[in-house]
Chain A
Amino acid sequence: MPIETDIPQLDHWLLPSLGIWVIALAGLAILLFLLGWVWALLHGGVIGAPRLFRPVTRRFLSRTWAAIADLIFISPRRVGALAWLGIKEAIRRRVIIVFVVFLATLLMAGWFLDPASDNPVKLYLNFVMGTSDYLILLLILLVTVFSLPTDIQKKTIYTVLTKPVRPSEIILGRVLGFTLVGTVLVVGMGLISYAFVVRGLAHTHQIDTSTLRPLGDPVPQPDGSTKTMQQGWTTKVNGHRHRVFIDLQGHARLEMEQGHTHLAQADASQEGGFVLGGPEGLLTARVAKYGNLVFRDRNGFDEVKGISVGDEWTYRSYIEGGSEAAAIWTFSGLNQAELAGDSVPVEMSIGVFRTHKGDMKRGILGSLAVRNPDTGLLVELEVFESKEFSILQLQIPKKIERFAAARFVQRRTRSPDGSVTFSPQQPPASDPAKQKAFDLFRDLVTKDGRLEVWLQCLEGGQYFGMAKPDLYLRVGEGTFFTNLMKGYAGTWCQMVLVIVFGVTLSTFLSAPVAMVATLGILVGGLAHTFLTQVAVGQIFEGVETPYQAGPIESLVRLVTQIGVMEEMPESVAFHVMRAVDTGFRLWLESMSYAIPPLSQMSFAQFVMNGYDVSGELLLIDLLRVLGYFVPVFFLGHFFLKSREVAA
């Protein structure tokens, strides 16, 4: 299965995210100013507030400056000492016990995880990564939120704060210490998980000689004898068996089953016997190159989305068969060196929506084409038969000699003012239809490395559905071990954010309250996508409805039995209700920025489905950690500096 989430690309992600980050910080600063006002109002009354506000503002600005100045004076030795203290404390709190819990869970799971299931790799990885993720995050949350409040409660903080230690160093030291402890946990669990999965799925078969049957006619050999190809089955292990083919040279080959095969070697001790190796291709890390997806509607105009076939899950968009509609992926940064071999493998998993049944045993036909975005040259490579729920691999040869058709195709974009732009505007001088062969990199890939891959459905009345990650160029193969570790790097990033929030919240909240607050952030972060959808009113994405998601409107509609597709009568109360709901949604939206998108930071889906976690994704995760760390760290500094720890 392909990845079924939107995969961010650094160059598209960075600038908008940076913009949101700056706006969010500005919002935070305004919020703090407003809180200052409220504080002044509470303490000075309405008349005294303006007089009080000036010192509050001055204090706010001086604190901001102090926090920045503090960063200059941060002593690595002091931070190191406080980090060391954090590690000692974590060890004293017996965090190592989590390994025992993890091992015990795995031992128990060993009885229940069935290697004979349809997708044992996914089952195993889902279990180990899920378990270790929750164990690490919950454990680190508890260790983190209890640390500083315990120090304040036991007054051990007195002996620290009366040394030349800055609040920022206390926060940084804690974060660093717990991160180091967490790193040991993550690496340890990663190694245990690797051993568990590899050992749990390791198996081999034997060729069941009683099932071997001749395949085809006997072929005469130079020495006068005859030989026949054979086919049969292996023994059944882990709920599956492989079909075996033995060629005329006596080499055995096993068919893929449950996503893997086994290598067969001649058995030296037994004439005509074979020894089968361990599973090959079971634990993969496909290196995929993703492109940007746009759609072409039935009239040949570019669209951001395809059409909806009424699926509740609007992740995939559909194109209509037998029309000009197409899904166009634009890949960039392609170069010869990266794509070794004679051809470039394209892998896809296309959803199919049938408006009429047709021959259910046969897939729907589609065509794969490549196009040069600059010249408009489009070469139709081949017709394929769709396979649902599995990955279909096709090849784009570097020397294209066999192809269905070659023609000039313009992309047409409709502007908001109704005008249409064409790309490219002019056809090439030579007619591509007369060309006998094409060179992928010379004719179809632009000078800056861009290439379009077009997918069309050839059968009228049938539809193909796709999302961006459904088609990709397979540019290489990583090792499973490295990929698993990269998957755990995602967990590590989530963990660091939990630590940062936990430490900061514990600077001004008591331990139980800080725990609940951090847990709230953790849960909110893991359900971040839903939270954002609610905030921006996208629960019924793509559906025109008079209902604007909001708590009061929902309540009113529930009580008055007005359905979500029905208009509500307009009145003053109606507008007040809408205003309150909009305010709530704005608050929720701002919260969705304040809560880190932990769900998007996990790479478990990649590892489970056998996709390599790219360095780009790791970098995005690290930037996310940094993006949250900076403001939260500053907040923690303010809180701790403003707090009378001895009060």
Chain B
Amino acid sequence: MTAEGWRDELARRQEELVRALVGGGALPGGFNPRDVGATRDALLRKRAGEVARVWPRLATSVGPGRWAAEFGAWAAGRPPQGSLRDGWDYARAHPPTGAAVLELAERELLWSYDSSSAPRPRRGLGLRRVDGVFLVRFRGRIHRWSR
């Protein structure tokens, strides 16, 4: 095989393995299923922790000590899109309760997100009312009023 041939073969195998770890793909032949499975679970735990830092109220809203398992069950097989989008997609799939309602509403007011490409900042003035709280977007920041 040529040098390019080896590199293409390595690229194909690396992609196959990443797909098995984060994309729900089949385990490539020859790998130890238990060891790769432990890696897949560790990646999910790390990802859950990172999403919890960006979406702290969403993570606590599922109950004490529950986030890693709840998020992990949903995220398994879904390739990571970065913590902002991962938490957003999770929140849209599991409409939140409590303080997480406001967390999601603030994000929705600040950014335009179509669930398939990177969120884009919304421009101008924006207004939303959530749980009796008025949220106002002004110059890229959220201001809150409650009665």
Tell whether A pairs with B: no
Q: Measuring CB to CB, which residues of chain A are less than 8 angstroms from any residue of chain B? A: none
Q: Measuring CB to CB, which residues of chain B are less than 8 angstroms from any residue of chain A? A: none
